[in-house]
Structure 1
Amino acid sequence: MRLRHPDGSTVHLSYCTNVHAAEDLPGIHGQLSGVAARVRRLLGVERLGLGLWLSQPAAADLLTRPGEVARLRERLAELGLEVVTLNGFPYRGFHDEIVKYRVYQPDWADAERLHYTLGLAEILAALLPDDVTEGTISTLPLAWRTAWTQDKATAVMANLDALAQGLRALTSRTGKVIRVGFEPEPGCIIEITPQATALLSEVDHDYLGLCLDACHMAVGFEEPGAGARTGLPIVKLQASCALEAPPGAQRALAAFDEARFLHQTRSATGYTDDLGEALAGGLPADESWWVHFHVPLHDEPPPPLATSAPYLRDLLNTLLGGPAPLTRHVEVETYTWNVLPHAPADLAEGIAAELNWMRGQLAALGLKET
């Protein structure tokens, strides 16, 4: 969906397709004509934005068959769908039985991550609607924190320089500006936005910046305005909600301790890489816990659990409630629908309800649908 900010600029709202398990072109076409098209109909909008996730094999397939990129673009238009942003964080296997730490591989010290991301940029430049000149890609915050060495840091910076050069060359060839946002996440080299400021201060800010994830920021105990104060461009916002358990009520989180994804958990005085470690005694029970588990924006878990929806509202106000938007791409990224304790029978209805909630939040800030 496109919305007009009071300053006249366009803000794009989408949902991220990494919720779908499709990792090849037939599967991607199936998700577009199935769930995505139905979400658009449920919302009653002429055009629905997608934050498209393309696995490495799917991206490689598209790059070797340019006709397939054109076919994908045509199919999007036929279905009333558009793509201005890609999620380039998961490389492949995002819906394997166990993902956990594997989602951070390859990291930005590996040339494979560079090649994958530049390939995504080529594809996105070709998929952008004719009246859109800027696209964005979100990616991991450099690497998971362990095994970080000076040699690895040097390799990362070399790859980021090559990334910016490749994106600049793409603009020269196509006239399209594709920017990449690094997404701070608990447990990674860039956990919070001040670390991003320190580690990304020397990169090319015309093409490289931040992707803020509201769930990650809440779990990191960041002030909603922290991202706006980094001095780095905010190329994208991922609208997401974390889980909160009040003191003494953490056993209610056991239903969310699932095997596929990593659920970093934090309290005022402690941190664990996964929810199961916290439940096994890794965090004090007399403190509130915040859990990296993307829960539906519009929904409330059974009491006494709560979500960080109030935090998301504050973040939206910070980024979009001022005289000019601090980001123009907003992506709803609840990828955990299939591992929720009570997974919905109709995924399209759930995604549509989230997007409807989000369009209401943006309308309250003065944005109008176009």
Structure 2
Amino acid sequence: MRFPHGHLAYCTNIHPAEDWKTTFQAISTHAMKVRDLVAPDEAFAIGLRLSSTAAKELLRGDELPAFNDWLATKNAYVFTINGFPYGDFRAGSFVKRNVFRPDWADPARLEYTKELFTIVSQLLPEGIEGSVSTLPGSFKEFQADESAIRLQLIELATFLDSLAEVSDRDLHLGMEPEPRGHFENTEETLRFFDRLLDDAPDHELIKRRIGINYDCCHFALQYESARDSLTALRGEGLRISKIHLSAALALDPRIPGAVEAVSKFDEPTFLHQVLARHPDGRIERYTDLPEGVASLGTDTGADAEEWRVHFHIPLDAEPAPPLASTRQNSLDALALAREVPDLCQHWEIETYTWGVLPQELARPVEEQIAGEYRWVLAGV
């Protein structure tokens, strides 16, 4: 849907679906119910999540034209696709580090992303940009060959420029920094793009087609404010491709009961990275929540004064004390957009954890998403 800062959707990665048939069923049921709750009389934007399997199936035969026709009958449209999770992304599955596979050193990631752009370029209404979000190159533990990552991104930028000319649509990739990703904070992101630009024969091509998917949860985990990090990224001429409105868990692990409370969010599907800040400003990073809990029994971890935990919390539902959330970072991004009208045209609510939320935060999925829309629109 249109809102004062551009286009707003929610990401359909909240609905478990790995093939196109199941993906379409989720859209035609859940997404339409959310539309009826939030904006029944407006054109409703759908933030697609397509696995590699679903993307290939959608490109076969007349599936894509048929989906386009369906969108028209429902007064709905697509402006963005989440292309971070290539494969299985379902509650009950073992996703964890696998969400970073294949990484950008693997040709399979490049081909998948080209398929997603081929799809979105054919779904875009006239005059609307098209974006795809993706992982931050790789995962630090993988020790990926960054030169291969940069080479494939340059190839993608060239592909996008040609596709944009043919489709008459502005197309751009948003790389999404995440804790323990190949680049995860503002400084690492800037230095990665410096190296990418050094490799690229055409700097303007890269800046036009490759940008940042700014996830408010992920940067809050780094103890970085939306205002400071977005300003720094834009100051280096990087495109803000899309902004994910999202929130992480926050707590003081010294408070009695806090670690016990956050341990309820430990579950086997997704990574829940922990960033622990110490009184001297040092930040220790743990790849998953159990590692963070174990650190409290060590000399390096015992004096942490704050934790931020990568578990996407519904924007409109603060967890009970002694836990809190970082949703202020999403409000700060919206506030910056009021001051900087060209900040970003693509916004997406991205709370994908519905299937693994503790019982006290659980609601019917459509009600949760509608509540998040209302929260966002109240903050505009």
Equivalent residue number for residue 279 of structure 1: 293
**1:313 and 2:308 equivalent?**
no
Residues in 2 aligned to 1:322 and 1:211: alpha-carbon distance in whole angstroms: 20
Separation of aligned partners in 2, 1:114 and 1:25: 20
What is the letter of the counterpart of residue 225 of structure 2? E
| One-letter amino acid matched to 1:153 | E
Q: RMSD of the alignment, in Å?
A: 1.5
From 338, 342, 353, give the equivalent of 2:355. 338
2:103 aligns with: 107
Deviation at 1:221, TM superposition (A): 1.2
Aligned residue number for residue 203 of structure 2: none
SS at match of 2:190: helix
Residue of structure 2 in register with 1:3 after alignment: 3
Describe the superposition over 1:21-43 as per-residue Cα deviations: whole angstroms up to 9, x where unpaired. Answer: 11212112211121100001011
Which of 12, 20, 23 pairs up with 1:25? 20
Contact 1:250 1:285 in 2 (8 A): no
Q: Does 1:236 align with 2:239?
A: no
How far is the alpha carbon of 1:285 from its aligned partner?
5.8
Structure 1 CA distance for aligned equivalents of residues 93 and 141 of structure 2: 23
The structure 1 residue matched to 2:78, chosen from 77, 83, 92, is: 83
Aligned partner letter, 2:118: E
> Is the contact made by 2:315 and 2:327 (CA closer than 8 Å) also made in structure 1?
yes
Residue type matched to 1:236 in 2? K
Per-residue deviation, residues 145-172 of structure 1 (Å, max 9, x unmatched): 12325xx111111101110011011012
Q: Answer whether contact 1:244 1:308 (CA < 8 A) is retained.
A: yes
Give 1:267's aligned residue: 276
- 1:293 paired residue number: 311
Whole-angstrom distance in 1 between the partners of 2:177 and 2:142: 18
**What TM-score, normalized to structure 2?**
0.89
CA positional deviation for 1:62: 1.8
Partner of 1:12: 7
Candidates 345, 358, 370, aligned match of 1:352: 370
Cα deviation digits, residues 30-81 of structure 1 (max 9, x gap): 111211000010113322212100100111112232x110111111222232
Task: Structure 2: state its 5+ residue gaps.
Answer: 201-205, 278-282
Rounded to whole Å, the distance in 2 between the matches of 1:212 and 1:154 is 23
In the alignment, is residue 255 of structure 1 matched against residue 273 of structure 2? no
Could you tell me how far 1:323 is from its partner in structure 2?
4.2
The AA in structure 2 aligned to 1:26 is: K
Question: Partner residue of 1:173?
Answer: 166
User: In 2, are the aligned partners of 1:52 and 1:83 still within 8 Å (CA)?
Assistant: yes
Structure 1 unmatched ranges of 5 or more: 6-10, 363-370
Amino acid at match of 2:217: C
- Secondary structure of the residue aligned to 1:256 is coil
Say which of 126, 138, 163 aligns to 2:122: 126
Q: Answer yes or no: is the 8 Å Cα contact 2:20–2:53 preserved in 1.
A: no
How far apart are 1:345 and its partner, in Å?
4.3
Aligned 8 A contact 1:37 1:80 in 2? no
Normalised to the residue count of structure 1, the TM-score between the two structures is 0.92
Indicate the SS of the match to 2:21: helix
Using the TM superposition, give the Cα deviation of residue 189 of structure 1 relative to its aligned residue in structure 2, in angstroms. Answer: 1.1
Alignment partners' CA distance in 1, 2:31 and 2:375: 17
Match of 1:226, SS state, is: helix
Distance in 2 between the 1:322 and 1:284 partners?
A: 41
Q: Choose the corresponding residue for 1:64, options 56, 60, 66.
A: 60
Q: Report percent identity of matched pairs.
A: 38
Contact preservation (8 Å) 1:37, 1:81 = no
Q: 1:276 is paired with a residue of what secondary structure?
A: helix
Counterpart of 2:287, as a letter, is: D
Deviates more, 1:309-318 or 1:248-257: 309-318
Deviates more, 1:118-127 or 1:276-285: 276-285
1:157 aligns with 2:160: no
State the alpha-carbon separation in 2 of the partners of residues 353 and 80 from structure 1: 22
Partners of 2:165 and 2:123 lie apart in 1 by: 17
Shift of 1:286: 4.5
**Is contact 2:12–2:27 with CA below 8 Å preserved after alignment?**
no
